[in-house]
């Protein structure tokens, strides 16, 4: 009889990368580096529509909430503005990327519309949600495994 291999599905995970200090980068390049820094993008990844989604939501902070069709339209405009191929803008991919941004507490959903979490500054969200809550819980659990293994 074959034994089962259990799936080790993490309860939470985060990728953090350290890059050079932000300097004279344009807005899209800064957001791209941020996405790389927190694992929303992989180094060398050309499929970077998540950058445009985050840019669109940042540009509409303190304005009306945006639904998926509006985000899709604005993302297409953003990609054209930066002379990028209009790839990855299918509604299903936009929703998937929004879910990834929600999982990282950067974006919140209210009645099928989206906005930056509490219209807060990203630095505040990072401090309150990612560092104090998310990262602390991951680090404490890893610490428990280190203590348990003898």
Please tell me whether the overall predicted TM-score, pTM, comes out greater than 0.85 for this model: yes
**pLDDT tens, 101-146?**
999 999 999 999 999 999 999 999 999 999 999 999 999 999 999 9
Q: State residue 3's pLDDT score.
A: 64
Model confidence band, residue 62 (pLDDT cutoffs 50, 70, 90): confident
What integer is the mean pLDDT of 69-90? 94
**pLDDT tens, 5-22?**
667 888 888 999 999 999
Query: Can you read off the two tokens belonging to residue 23?
Result: 């300097």
More confident residue, 3 or 142: 142
C-alpha to C-alpha distance for 130 and 139, rounded to whole angstroms: 12
Name the residue with tokens 């979490």. 117
Domain ranges of the chain: 27-118, 120-150
Q: State residue 8's pLDDT score.
A: 83
147 three-state secondary structure: helix
Is the pLDDT at 45 greater than 80, yes or no? yes
> Which contacts qualify for 34-37: CB closer than 8 Å, 24 or more apart?
34/122
CATH class label, 27-118: mainly alpha
Mean pLDDT of the chain: 92
């Amino acid at each position: 009889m074959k034994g089962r291999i259990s799936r080790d599905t993490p309860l939470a995970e985060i990728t953090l990368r350290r890059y050079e200090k932000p300097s004279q980068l344009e807005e899209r390049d800064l957001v791209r580096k941020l996405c790389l820094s927190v694992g929303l993008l992989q180094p060398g990844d050309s499929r970077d529509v998540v950058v445009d989604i985050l840019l669109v939501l940042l540009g509409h902070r303190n304005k009306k909430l945006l639904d998926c069709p509006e985000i899709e339209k604005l993302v297409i405009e953003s990609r054209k503005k930066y002379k990028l191929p209009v790839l990855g803008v299918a509604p299903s991919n936009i929703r998937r990327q929004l879910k990834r941004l929600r999982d990282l507490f950067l974006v919140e959903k209210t009645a099928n519309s989206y906005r930056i979490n509490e219209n807060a500054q990203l630095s505040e969200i990072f401090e309150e949600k990612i560092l104090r809550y998310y990262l602390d819980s991951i680090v404490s659990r890893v610490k428990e495994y280190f203590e348990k293994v003898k």
